[in-house]
Amino acid sequence: MEFEKVWKSLGADSERQAAFLRMLQPATLPSLFKHALTGPLLSSMLAVLLSQVISEDPGFSVQFLSALSGVPRFELTAMCLPARERQQLKGLWNGAAAAMNEADAAAFVGLRKSFRL
């Protein structure tokens, strides 16, 4: 899948990964990933989104997370994240929620169940 190739080419540079995520239109995520969203890719995207993008653009981040949860087989992929990664993502999720204003936080917290965090 082309997305995954580009994502891997960015290496561990979270700033470049964040910029790449911001270039995407959230509404296109279900068709972009179809059935190809893997656990490692989901985990790494969430880590970047929750640690980098959400503080800069919470509205975009909530839209992105909402669209991501609509990707086919998303629930299965989210359920299969390893416990260690899930714990790290929970910490990032809690930190992001605490830094948001009330309006953005309400939508953000509502998505938490979908991500099983």
* 56-109 per-position pLDDT tens digit: 899 899 999 999 999 999 999 999 999 999 999 999 999 998 888 888 888 888
Q: Enumerate the domain spans of the chain.
A: 2-6+38-115
Angle, CA 48 vertex, CA 8 and CA 70 arms, to 5°: 90
| Inter-residue contact 53 to 22 (CB < 8 Å) | yes
| Inter-residue contact 74 to 25 (CB < 8 Å) | no
- Give this prediction's pTM: 0.90
Distance, in Å, from the CA atom of 72 to the CA atom of 77, rounded to the nearest integer, reads: 9
Distance, in Å, from the CA atom of 18 to the CA atom of 53, rounded to the nearest integer, reads: 6
Three-state SS at 35: coil
Distance, in Å, from the CA atom of 90 to the CA atom of 117, rounded to the nearest integer, reads: 5
